[in-house]
Amino acid sequence: MPAEPPLPDPSRALAPLAAHEALLLAVSGGPDSVALALLAARWPLRAKKRIEIATVDHGLRPESALEAEQVGEWARALGFAHHILRWEGEKPQTRIQERAREARYRLLCAFARGIGASAIVTAHHADDQAETVLFRLTRGSGVAGLAAMAAESRIDGLALLRPLLGFRKAALEHVCAEAGHPYFRDPSNENPAYARARLRRLAATLAAQGLDAQALLRLSARAARAEEALAWSAEKAAAALPAERGARSFRAASASLRALPRELLLRLLATEVARIGGGEPRLERLERAGDALAEALATEARFKTTLGGATILFRGGAVVIAPEPPRRRGAAREPEG
């Protein structure tokens, strides 16, 4: 990525949106999302699409309601219908940013379906991507985690589009400046109570050691390439595996599983556990179960564990995955990760 990133051209930057007839833009009022709205207003395909804007009011700051209303005025001035989605009820005292994010996407997905939109569009940019990589690096994420955010993914049956990932925050601020358009700055972005804010304060120190935004973005791109190859390999290996798969069951000979590289064994377990048990285990717990199973396969020792609502059993030369017995569902169990 060049030192001075190019300014977004609406035709090219928003090209991924062209596959959808109705879109919901998530606009908080910060410079990034305001730039997204400005670009959408100048998008050549705008007249052929139905584009609406939503602002989520988390109710975590006294001024958030007024800011959401102001975003509505800006959206309508650009010719977009605007909606305020409120996170109602008592707010959590812990993991606030994580739970606010979950609530935000839950509200956006429900509203998008309600208006018939097939895609939600966010203003995540290259600096967000670099920050996400660093955040996940500090938590020991795997390859998929270090790949960070994809330009297009799925959420609750809808497309989640991030068309501005190739642009730096400064470029989006310049879009606003060029248009003479105001925006808000969220003070929580500088609040040291939050892990991401603390990481931002380390940015200069890390950059001096070579771990700047460009380096983090290179790591993300390389991890994404590796993740694509691993996902492809895992899919091919699963398809070629001689296994019996029922609606809620899996059975395979130990010899065929023993031959798999450890990473592909973990991915196979994750897929089958999610399909059969209905849960997606955290990476740490998946790794513990996978390592223990691999050791049992190597030594022909009996093995049994529960993971993500499923039971994994190795006995008699075969590995069997089945739903966890109901009597255990209400019992105390090891937390996922």
Contact 195, 134 (CB under 8 A): no
Per-residue pLDDT, 274:
95
Quick one: which H or E segment has residue 203? helix 203-208
- Stated as kind and residue range, the H or E segment containing 265 is helix 262-277
> How many CA atoms within 13 Å lie on the side-chain side of 237?
22
Instruction: Break the chain into its structural domains and give their ranges.
Output: 10-221, 241-329
Block means of pLDDT (10 residues each) for the chain, 337 residues, are 63 95 98 97 97 96 95 98 95 87 96 98 96 91 93 96 95 95 83 72 86 94 96 96 95 95 97 93 94 96 95 95 76 42
Domain 241-329 sits in CATH at 3.30.465
Q: Which pLDDT does position 336 carry in this prediction?
A: 38
Q: Mutual orientation of helices 213-240 and 126-138 as an angle, nearest 10°?
A: 70
pLDDT in the model for residue 183? 97
Fold designation for 10-221: Rossmann fold (3.40.50)
Buried b (16+ CB within 10 A) or exposed e, 296-330: bbeeeeebebbbbbbbbbbeeebbbbbebeeeeee
User: What does residue 83 show for φ and ψ, rounded to 5 degrees?
Assistant: -135, 140
Q: Which residue has the tokens 């009597």?
A: 327
